[in-house]
Chains A and B, each alone.
Chain A
């Protein structure tokens, strides 16, 4: 039942998304909008099919949800928010400084309490990153006020 509600919500969202995309497409020239229109109509059609399917009596046995245990929303949210902060802060503070802070915070939030292990993993990983990206590949990285 939960899954059907999810499918219903998603199909309604997609139908709304198609509507918005169609509306926005009128800012393009008529030649440039024909291809996106075709995709919008196809997406709309199949979203409608999905919506209809959620009301029709299910003919197929619902697959058992392959769960890996109860989902801990707090873990997901904390790492998600921390990752966004990391990306925002990267170009302000500097790549290596923000990466050190991120790794220490993320591993602690996930339950690693051993400080020596935290520092060891962070140190080794940063050394590897520096060797590969700076020394061998000389790839550009976000610059900030610190290193």
Chain B
């Protein structure tokens, strides 16, 4: 392993591979910033470009695009409350309020550093813990994935900081919307009204773009006043002011470590992506925080844990893909295609016959994280200038990007109408204080929960006791109960305190 590790480093340090990493990182960030263009799409779009490249250069570029895109989604989430990717939804909740308070530059600095920490942590896990973690991922079957989805859905309770009832209404409304389309167990069409575009269900991206980008666009133009505090970082000329000070960053070390671990673990679970990691890390941090009321209103810790977790998924998701050929998420499923195109078959041969390429790929992810950290910090003072642009110019641009982004995935006009409808829904939900986040969570996890439940009951012939005898299932049941109960107890206590 040591020899392969050294060989990998030497290969990655070659000029062509370093150029591929830098170009890939920049492209990934640019794509991630744009709403509707996900990390999955960015990797898929670049695979043809890597055909003619050397295998390692091509894979380095794909890995760099993946890391860059996950990080890039945070920039628009923080500055415009329009998450570039689903993985940055939680970032938007606290990042945008901080931008409105004039701390946008500071948040971008923390985001770049913590995303890099999460990403680098996952690279070390990938390098040194791949085989045992891959074995762990094999223990996840349909019952475990079903309960992971349920655990994820209990986060709805924590997201309902204003009114628990309204949060639960949003959640169940989202779960009902998630039943639209073809039922995965029996193949029946539900609530499609003959619309072919709905056969696969309500597409995630147009719903996300509508609920966050379009509703935010309407909020920005509803009155003529511009309520941003111009960030004083714009007026400083050096990067030092954006880089978070070590003594301030050290305050969050426990949260950063916990989020990194959550990101890696969620990453190795097949079918669970960066958005789920981000939600779980956010929820867990808020649950144990001494000031949970600050989350959702401008908590730097909320931004940090979300971004650390979603970037920690990058390395974690490659573990089952490289060792077992099982993609950790949609991005690595596409990545697998990239591997196969270059004649690399996942499994033991990847770590023996093609060891130098494999280790080179893993090490290249380390450099990708350094690259986006560097670009993120240098460019933060330019990104923040977006907040100086008048809403009257910004809003039409956001709307055009949203329309383009919602069309890009499936090339279906219907998706644009859907996006607009969700935009109206999101706008009115905000006005009447219904949280929109539970709908997004439900659209992501609802189909997964139903499909895995159906599979579990089919495989185990309707025997529901299986959920109570498998160890990992019991862990998720316990976590779900804790995740559900603690915020409710907190709400009841605060209500009692108010009335007494």
Q: Which residue in chain A gives the minimum CB-CB distance to B406?
A: A87
Could you say which residues of chain B place their CB within 8 Å of the CB of A35?
A: 179, 183, 450, 453
Tell me if B45 and A32 are in contact (CB < 8 A): no
Residues of A within 8 A of B30 (CB): 132
Spot the interface stretch: B186-194, B240-248, B371-379: B186-194
Contacts of A40 in B (CB 8 A): 176
Enumerate chain B residues within 8 angstroms of A80, measured Cβ to Cβ.
218, 424
Known: A79-B221, A141-B407. A99 touches B413 (CB 8 A): no
Contact residues, B33-56 vs A (CB, 8 A): 34, 37, 45
A76 neighbours in B (Cβ, 8 Å): 218, 221-222
Docked-complex contact A36 and B399, CB < 8 angstroms: no
Partner of A69, one of B224, B390, B397: B224
Contact A46-B498, Cβ < 8 Å, known A21-B191, A32-B190, A102-B400? no
Q: What's the tally of chain A residues with a CB closer than 8 Å to chain B? A: 65
Q: Is B396 an interface residue (CB 8 A)?
A: yes
Is residue A129 contacting chain B, with contact meaning CB distance below 8 A? yes
Which of B9-17, B165-173, B361-369 lies on the face that meets chain A?
B165-173
Contact A28 B172 (CB under 8 A): no
Q: Are A107 and B498 in contact (CB under 8 A)?
A: no
A36 to B396, CA, bound (A): 38
Give the distance in Å from the alpha carbon of A143 to the alpha carbon of B176 in the complex: 34
Q: Which of A59-112 contact B (CB under 8 A)?
A: 59-61, 63, 68-72, 75-76, 79-80, 83-84, 86-87, 90-91, 95, 99, 102-103, 106-107, 110-112
- Residues 108-129 of A, flagged 1 when their CB comes within 8 A of B and 0 if not, give 0011100001000100010001
| Cα distance, A112 to B395, chains bound together (Å) | 12
A24–B219 Cα gap in the complex (Å)? 34
Asked if B191 contacts A140 (CB within 8 A), the reply is no
B298 → chain A, closest Cβ, in Å?
Answer: 13
A87-B413, A140-B411, A141-B404 given; A103·B169 CB < 8 A? no
Report whether B173 and A14 are in contact in the complex, using a CB–CB cutoff of 8 Å: yes
A50-B166 contact given A71-B223, A103-B400, A132-B30, CB 8 Å threshold:
yes
Q: Cα distance A125–B394 when bound, in Å?
A: 11
Say if the beta carbon of A19 comes within 8 Å of chain B.
no
Residues of chain A lying within 8 A (CB to CB) of residue B399: 79, 83, 86, 102, 106
- CB of B188 within 8 A of CB of A32, answer yes
Restricting to A1-36, which residues have a CB under 8 Å from any CB of B? Answer: 3, 6-7, 10, 14, 21, 24-25, 28-29, 31-33, 35-36
- Give the interface SS of chain B, mostly helix, strand, loop or mixed: helix
Q: Is B175 an interface residue (CB 8 A)?
A: yes
| Given the contacts A53-B165, A137-B45, A107 and B396 also touching, CB distance less than 8 Å | yes
B217-248 vs A, CB cutoff 8 Å, 1 = contact: the mask equals 11101111101000000000000000000000
Nearest B residue to A41 by beta-carbon distance?
Answer: B172
Pick the residue among B34, B162, B176, B413 that contacts A132 (CB under 8 A): B34
Please state if B166 and A72 are interface contacts (CB–CB under 8 Å).
no
Task: Report chain A residues within 8 Å CB of B223.
Answer: 68-72
How long is the Cα–Cα vector from A75 to B427 in the complex, in angstroms? 14
Residue of A nearest to B442 (CB): A39
Once the chains bind, are A68 and B186 in contact (CB under 8 Å)? no
CB-based contact B432/A10 at 8 Å = yes
| B416 engages A46 (CB within 8 Å) | no
- Is B393 located at the chain interface by the 8 A CB criterion? yes
Is the CB–CB distance between B392 and A83 below 8 Å? no
B434 / chain A contacts, CB cutoff of 8 Å: 10
Indicate with 1 or 0, residue by residue over A36-63, a CB within 8 angstroms of chain B CB atoms.
1001101100110110010000011101
In the bound complex, CA of A35 to CA of B452 (Å): 13
Closest CB in chain A relative to B156 CB, distance in Å: 11
Residues of B within 8 A of A133 (CB): 404, 408
Q: Given A36-B179, A69-B224, A79-B218, are A50 and B411 neighbors across the interface (CB < 8 Å)? A: no
Closest B residue to A137 by beta carbon equals B45
Q: Tell me if B222 and A139 are in contact (CB < 8 A).
A: no
Distance, CA A30 to CA B221, complexed state (A): 47
Q: Are B395 and A68 in contact (CB under 8 A)?
A: no
Closest Cβ–Cβ distance, residue B282 to chain A (whole Å): 22
Q: Is A136 an interface residue (CB 8 A)?
A: yes
Q: Which chain B residue lies CB-closest to A52?
A: B165
Of A36, A40, A69, most B-chain CB atoms within 10 Å: A36
Q: Are B395 and A87 in contact, CB atoms less than 8 angstroms apart?
A: no
Q: Which residues of B contact A121 (CB under 8 A)?
A: 393, 397
Map CB proximity to A onto B432-462 as digits: 1 under 8 Å, 0 otherwise.
Answer: 1110000000000000001001000000000
Which listed residue (B31, B169, B175, B433) contacts A47, Cβ 8 A? B169
Note all chain A residues with C-beta closer than 8 A to B411.
140
Chain A: minimal CB distance from B226 (Å): 10
CB atoms of A110 and B408 under 8 A apart = no
Chain B residues with CB under 8 Å of A70's CB are 223
Report if B465 contacts A (CB, 8 A): no
Name the distance in Å between B415's Cβ and chain A's nearest Cβ. 10
Q: What are the 6 A-B residue pairs with the smallest beta carbon separation, nearest first?
A: A32-B188, A110-B392, A106-B396, A69-B223, A43-B172, A39-B176
List 11 A–B pairs whose Cβ atoms lie within 8 Å, in order of A's numbering: A24-B191, A36-B176, A42-B175, A72-B222, A90-B413, A102-B396, A106-B399, A107-B393, A125-B400, A132-B30, A133-B404
Given contacts A39-B179, A84-B420, A121-B397, 20 further A-B contacts (CB under 8 A): A3-B433, A7-B432, A24-B191, A31-B185, A31-B188, A32-B186, A35-B183, A36-B191, A43-B173, A59-B499, A69-B224, A72-B222, A72-B223, A87-B416, A90-B416, A102-B399, A106-B395, A110-B395, A133-B404, A142-B413
Residues of chain B at the chain A interface (Cβ within 8 Å): 27, 30-31, 34, 37, 45, 162, 165-166, 168-169, 172-173, 175-176, 179, 183, 185-186, 188-191, 217-219, 221-225, 227, 390-393, 395-397, 399-400, 403-404, 407-408, 411, 413, 416-417, 420, 424, 432-434, 450, 453, 495, 498-499
